[in-house]
Amino acid sequence: MDPDSVAKAFVDHYYSTFDTNRGGLANLYQDSSMLSFEGQKFQGAQNIAAKLASLPFHQCQHSITTVDCQPSGPAGGMLVFVSGNLQLAGEQHALKFSQADPIV
Amino acid sequence: MDPDSVAKAFVDHYYSTFDTNRGGLANLYQDSSMLSFEGQKFQGAQNIAAKLASLPFHQCQHSITTVDCQPSGPAGGMLVFVSGNLQLAGEQHALKFSQADPIV
């Protein structure tokens, strides 16, 4: 698979997990992983999953608008940049979101 | 300086250069640098600066809303994530933008 296809597959998997089984996101992070979320920092799969589980909404649906990727680091990692809309249950208007995912 | 202050200083410098002396952005990239811009990929300081110089607007002003950073890679780099508004001269409404800057 070319890098763009890997990035697209990762993004599809990440956000479908987010929308349908948020606790499963813990499997997509490692102990060394870090999450910066609206100015707060979290480290480690469990802390990151706990933060994401604590977000003040339950049902949500991400719609992806753009996926960009580029190689990152000497070990074959990549940096994936995502933007799109986030529809929360019961809300009339979708939120815009963007996220950078360094993948190792 | 702590990492957050470094990130903030970098972001201030990058976007003030963008808004006042766009050609000077070439000095902020290396030959190994990559830019992914709305689905297009560019490599090297000159190619990246040429792309940014070719954007279809001249006067612009970035207003930064958020700056997040985290360490990245074994060599002391960091990943900076920025979001904000981009006001173009002559346009009534600002655009939203977000950008991830891997700094080595």
Long-range pairs for A87-90: beta carbons < 8 A, 24 or more residues apart: A87/A60, A87/A61, A87/A62, A87/A63, A88/A57, A88/A59, A88/A60, A89/A57, A89/A58, A89/A59, A89/A60
* N-to-C CA span, chain A: 16
The confidence band for B74, taking pLDDT boundaries of 50, 70 and 90, is: confident
Token pair in block for residue A7: 């990035």
Whether A72 sits inside 8 A of B102 (CB atoms) is: yes
Please list every residue in chain B whose beta carbon sits closer than 8 Å to the beta carbon of residue A41.
70
- Of the options 3.10.450.50, 3.40.50.720, 3.20.20.370, 3.40.50.300, the CATH number for the domain spanning B3-103: 3.10.450.50
Q: Which residues of B touch A39 (CB under 8 A)?
A: 66, 68
Q: Which of B39, B41, B81 is the closest to A100 by Cβ?
A: B81
Chain B positions contacting chain A at CB under 8 Å are 34, 36-39, 41, 66, 68-73, 79, 81, 83, 96, 98, 100, 102
Cα–Cα distances in angstroms (integers) from residue B60 to residues B18, B20, B21, B87, B93, in the given order:
8, 8, 11, 6, 12
CA–CA separation, B87 vs B104, rounded Å? 29
From first to last of the 104 residues of chain A, give the pLDDT tens digit: 889 999 999 999 999 999 999 999 999 999 999 999 888 999 999 999 999 999 999 899 999 999 999 998 777 789 999 999 999 999 999 999 999 999 98
Phi, psi of A88 (to 5 degrees): -95, 145
CA dist list (Å): B78 to A37, A62, A72, B100:
16, 27, 12, 10
Residue the block writes with tokens 């208007």: A93
Helix (H) or strand (E) holding B40: strand B40-43
Query: What is the per-residue pLDDT for B70?
Result: 93
Task: Please report how many Cα atoms fall inside a 13 Å half-sphere around the Cα of residue A87, on the Cβ side.
Answer: 8
pLDDT at A73: 77
Q: Distance, in angstroms, between B100 CA and closest chain A CA?
A: 6
Q: Say yes or no: ipTM exceeds 0.95.
A: no
pTM: 0.90
Break chain B into its structural domains and give their ranges: 3-103
